[in-house]
Amino acid sequence: MHRILYLLLFPVLVFGQTAQETIDRKLTFAKEQFQTTNENNFVVATPYIKSYAGIAGSSFWATDVWSSAELLYKGKMYQVSELKYDCANDLMVIPSYTKDGIQLLNLSPNIYPDIYINIKHTGNQHGKMTSDIPVTREHFMFYQSTKDEKSEGVPSGYYHFLIEKTISLLCKYSSNIVERSNLKAFEEAETFYLQNDGKLLKIHRVGSFVEAFPLLKDKINRFVEENNINTQVSLNFDTIEKLIEFLNTQSSK
């Protein structure tokens, strides 16, 4: 928490502003961006109270630096100047600047079904924020899975669109705390899903694609054979991407 607050207050030291001047400026920005649409002044959120003292690494996706973002709220897009995705807890975090100081908040996911994070990153690695890396607009969707979907490995939560087409490819991030040699650290993991007709399916092996598209079984098997894809092992991202792109060519015919 102390590290996060340091990042928030760092510009104060650089530009010679007092902490209160920074808060006043950001509070003015927030009022300009958000019109009062409910009793909570638009932002529906709860306090973000997490402590990661003594744990190496980070719980945040892509970078520890705050990024601007756009939130979909009742069919209209709104902007926030600072947001991070805590993939260890599946929370979208924003700072709230008030006359009393800074409070970190979790956005209520059912209120904001789609979030677009404007971020500088290379893959999913922390700290790579050089000026020559372009800003990309990354689309995250909060998906409320059914009881049956949960039993099939599709949890409710935020999913990142990697391919957004008729048949989409999404990724669910996680970051667990592991202990090795008396050292606690975050260990990240990625799980891939395909989306078709609004439904998600966890991708394991080639059989996951055949299960999702039984009418294309022969074409999928032919594509797998021609591209020397191993049907007995879990698929890596590059292979999944090829299969998704192949299926989109078929769906367009």
For residue range 224-244, what is the model confidence (pLDDT) as tens digits?
999 999 988 889 999 999 999
Cα–Cα separations (whole angstroms), residue 70 to 117, 122, 135, 175, 247: 7, 20, 14, 24, 30
- Does residue 206 contact residue 229 with C-beta atoms inside 8 Å? yes
DSSP string, 202-232: E--SHHHHHHH-GGGHHHHHHHHHHTT--TT
End-to-end CA distance of the chain: 52
21: Cβ–Cβ under 8 A, 6 or more apart, which residues?
12
More confident residue, 249 or 49: 249
pLDDT at 27: 56
Paired strand residues for 219: none
Percent of the chain clearing pLDDT 90 (strictly above): 42
62 or 164, which is more confident: 164
Given a cut of 60, whether residue 13 has pLDDT beyond it is no
Token pair 């769906």 is found at 251
Helix (H/G/I), strand (E/B), else coil: 53? coil
pLDDT band (50, 70, 90) for residue 26: low
CA–centroid distance for 27 within its chain: 26
- Residues 232 and 205: beta-carbon distance below 8 Å: yes
Please state, rounded to an integer, the average pLDDT across all residues of the chain.
Answer: 80
Can you give the pLDDT at residue 133? 62
Model's pTM, two decimal places?
0.77
Express each pLDDT in 166-209 by its tens digit: 999 999 999 888 988 888 998 889 999 999 998 999 998 999 99
**Whole-number pLDDT of residue 28:** 59
Q: Are strands 183-196 and 55-56 parallel, antiparallel or unpaired?
A: parallel
Task: Give the pLDDT score at 100.
Answer: 76
Write down the domain spans for the chain.
2-202, 203-253
> What are the E-state strand segments in 111-252?
114-120, 135-143, 157-163, 168-180, 183-196, 199-202
